[in-house]
Structure 1
Amino acid sequence: MTHDPSPVVGVPATGNTQSGTLEPGHVAGPAEQRRVAAACVIGNFVEYFDFAIYGFFAAAIGATFFPGGSASTQLLQSLAVFGVAYVMRPLGGLVFGVIGDRAGRRASLSISIGVMGAATALIGLLPGYATIGIAAPLLLVLLRCVQGLSVGGEWGASSAYLIETAPPGRRGVRGSYPSMAAALGLLAGSLLALVFGLLLTPEALTTWGWRVPFLIAAPLALLGLWIRRRLEDTPVFAEIERRRAAEQADVPRARFRDAVRRDHAKALLVTFSFSWICGVGLYYLGSYVVNFLASTVELPRVQAVLLTGLALAVYAGLCPLAGRASDRFGRRRTVLFGCIGHAVLGIPMFMLMATGNAVAIVVALLLFGIVQAPINANTSLILIELFPAATRLTSGSLGFNLGVGPPSGFGPLVAAALVVGTGLDYSPGFFLAGVALVCGLVLFALLPETAGRNLLADTDATQDTRPARPATTTTGI
């Protein structure tokens, strides 16, 4: 077996073979590895930073764009607009998936963060209903649609870039970075919202205070765009383009219909399943729990934010550890561990939180992070390793964005409805445990082990005739 002597991976041969390497199309030293990581995670950070600040400032946004009704009506209208982004995610995944597969990972990354930053900043600058009338909420909906499109393509493209440039045996750690960045974005957004809520009067918060965090996202997006434009594309995409140019292989170009190919049906079901439990768990931890503690458990808002902030910080630290465990023990075992954890502990965790005892709440939230990190840290990995190289972003986009889109995005609403409908404070655990059980059974039956799989394979992993090598392999990409 020939190993690439460079500090990064070479590009392996075609198909599912695990032996041999080609000359690397891209040499990434430690400095460039850091640039790649920064370029990718900043987009995920901005994405979930926006998620947090919109949720925390939903009441102020509702008063600005939907005046005339009660405060509850304004809030519901604002949250309805918030949900538009989830509906647009699958379409965005398709559009940016085709861009990433045809024009390159760097092109998809650059366009998505540029569009995301511009839409977020424009929301912060958008005049309210009192200034431009009905055009204000209409433009808000349009900008949320644009955000949803860009977000739909961000996760897949950044995951591909991180994993396709990962050193041997380090895909798991690198693939965990988007999940870690998402948690840090949620944490930063919630803490910033808390600070603004403490420092500003309700009037100031409603008139101008809510706009500032949206404007803060703009320079972060510009920084990400600048870093991304300085990168070369991944060695996997470079090799695909080399083969096309040399006409050495029949390398297909991605098309929209690749997202619904019949031979990917099993892989799409797998993708939807791990994405659904990933999304529900993350949105619970990053959005719903703070409202659950403040409204249902009736903790002071500041205490609720600080407790969930602590949980998000711990969870962010656990993501790379879960990625390392995935490299050692494999994707399948690690994800199934997380699903079993949610199915078994989903209800007990909410029972602990419902006590209102700070120690019990911390224990519950730590357990939540421990069982959620193995799922989220592997989502990027499996998404990229599961599908064939030439069409992986297009092929995986539909199942992934359907999973983390509406079914997950409406999870907090389902949780709140369960509390009202059943009268049981711990009833949100029913939905969490139920989703984990369903997804866990599907993944137990269908999820192949993808660790160590050749990233230039021309079929999806569910069609492999032999298992991939262990995750610790140092053989090529």
Structure 2
Amino acid sequence: MAEASVLVAPSAHVADDSRKVIWAAAIGNLLEWYDFGVYAYLASLIATKFFPSSDATASLLAAFAAYGVGFLARPLGGIVIGRLGDTQGRKTALVLTIFLMAFGTVGLGLLPTYDAIGVWAPILLVILRLVQGIAAGGEWGTSTAFMVEWAPQDRRGFFGSFQQVSTAGGSLLGSAVAAIMISSFSSAAMLDWGWRVPFLLGAVLLVIGAYLRQNVDETPCYEASRQAAADQPDVSGLPLGAKAFGFTIFWTVAYYTLLAWMPSFTQRFAGLSPSQALWSNTIGLIAMVIAIPIWGALSDKIGRRPLLMASAISIALLSFPLFSLMTGGTGLALVLPIQILFGILLALYSGAGPAAISEIFPTHLRSTWMSSGYALAVAIFGGFAPFMATWLIQVTGSPVSPTYLYLLPAAMISLLVIWSLKETSGTKLS
């Protein structure tokens, strides 16, 4: 590779702007996952308002299917917005994604229900989920590239980990808001109007995020990449995108099974009340948010691969016995430490993951192919994880079947990909 194509963010520049850069990239990601979290945590209410049915399970499945439909648009967003990030800049793409996500989030809060407009209610709900999916598809890869490209060479794991801090933080915020609402208002009030409030609060994040993103500079790596475009090696993005796809499978299945779907599981099979389920989930997310930057910083010291493999192996081995314990109906005293443990173990992957997946790609391909590979895996395996878990339990009759029929195979696939990757901590971004 020509010397001009080795691109490293200037340390002084990074030191001056790092806090502003992290906040600008993280706030949009926070909005994205706040909405996705709120939808999952309020799924039973959404099912009643938009998919009324005499069969509660069928209604919940319909709500989770609409949740998953939003993920089908993520690969399109990854390709279109990711390409925009590679051709017009990371900043341009990030401003677009936050406006699209906010439109979908606030729109959900204002949407008339089935009782008001009939079949148009679920149709409009799905359309808004598709808009959010397009935004989310471009958001993850572009914001990850933005953070990692701004990072000093020896701190990319730590900087990149804040992408996942904002991801888990969005879910945490959604879980906390839903828990506060459910704890503060009656079931009738939540069903009548309370379910709208968490979605409408997304407007606050829009104002903050749009301001921050419009007032940051483009990444030094991207600017240098444009100047040295002629010296970039002729590399096909497809096989690199395929690695990102395989790398993400376990990540997304574990995230949506152990977090987004968990409140539904603990209410149905672990004897928790709706309020207990949400607060338990919220505490588990707090543990995850705290652990992510610690593991991200550690990945700069000992490498990405050991932490990634430890996460996949431990969750694959522990999920079946721990889910089996929860079904014993012992309640919050057992569920809470299990959720904290899962949060810490998943943080191993989420701490090292953003830097590791970014380092697969050269700068001029990073936004497009990382966004596309990641978004496609999330669309296929992650977005429908709550639906798949609910369906597997219904088909098999076993409440722990998602652990060995979904989590375990996902872990095995991603472990093979991780094993094939070279250790990239401390190396230069190309």
Q: How high is the TM-score relative to the length of structure 2? A: 0.91
Which residue, out of 333, 339, 345, partners 2:312? 339
RMSD: 2.5
SS at match of 1:405: helix
Residue 149 and residue 356 in structure 1: after superposition, are their counterparts in 2 closer, same or farther (change >3 A)?
same
Deviation at 1:200, TM superposition (A): 2.5
Match of 1:432 in 2: 407
Match of 2:177 in 1: 192
**2:179–2:279 contact (8 Å) kept in structure 1:** no
SS at match of 2:272: coil
Match of 1:377 in 2: 351
Residue 365 and residue 104 in structure 1: after superposition, are their counterparts in 2 closer, same or farther (change >3 A)?
same
Identity over aligned pairs, percent:
35
Match of 1:396 in 2: 370
Q: Mapping of 1:70-469 within 5 angstroms?
A: 71-243=56-228, 249-250=230-231, 263-357=236-330, 358-430=332-404, 431-444=406-419, 446-455=420-429, 457=430
Give ranges in structure 1 of 5+ residues lacking alignment. 1-11, 253-257, 458-477
2: distance between equivalents of 1:301 and 1:65?
A: 20
Deviation at 1:153, TM superposition (A): 0.8
**1:99–1:108 contact (8 Å) kept in structure 2:** yes
**1:45–1:181 contact (8 Å) kept in structure 2:** yes
1:27 aligns with 2:13: yes
Residue 128 and residue 365 in structure 1: after superposition, are their counterparts in 2 closer, same or farther (change >3 A)?
closer
Deviation at 1:277, TM superposition (A): 0.7
Deviation at 1:422, TM superposition (A): 3.7
**1:25–1:238 contact (8 Å) kept in structure 2:** no
2: distance between equivalents of 1:148 and 1:220?
A: 18
**2:14–2:151 contact (8 Å) kept in structure 1:** no
SS at match of 2:426: coil
- Larger helix percent: 2
- Deviates further, 106-115 or 55-64: 55-64
Deviation at 1:355, TM superposition (A): 3.3
**1:40–1:161 contact (8 Å) kept in structure 2:** yes
Deviation at 1:424, TM superposition (A): 3.6
Which residue, out of 32, 35, 51, partners 2:36? 51
Q: How high is the TM-score relative to the length of structure 1? A: 0.83
1: distance between equivalents of 2:321 and 2:54?
A: 39
Residue 421 and residue 137 in structure 1: after superposition, are their counterparts in 2 closer, same or farther (change >3 A)?
closer
2: distance between equivalents of 1:147 and 1:219?
A: 17
Give ranges in structure 2 of 5+ residues lacking alignment. none
Which residue, out of 10, 14, 20, partners 2:4? 14
- Deviates further, 67-76 or 414-423: 67-76
2: distance between equivalents of 1:386 and 1:168?
A: 15
Query: 2:66 corresponds to which letter in structure 1?
Result: V
Deviation at 1:138, TM superposition (A): 2.4
**1:338–1:372 contact (8 Å) kept in structure 2:** yes
User: Which structure has the greater CA radius of gyration?
Assistant: 1
1: distance between equivalents of 2:101 and 2:12?
A: 28
1: distance between equivalents of 2:97 and 2:77?
A: 9
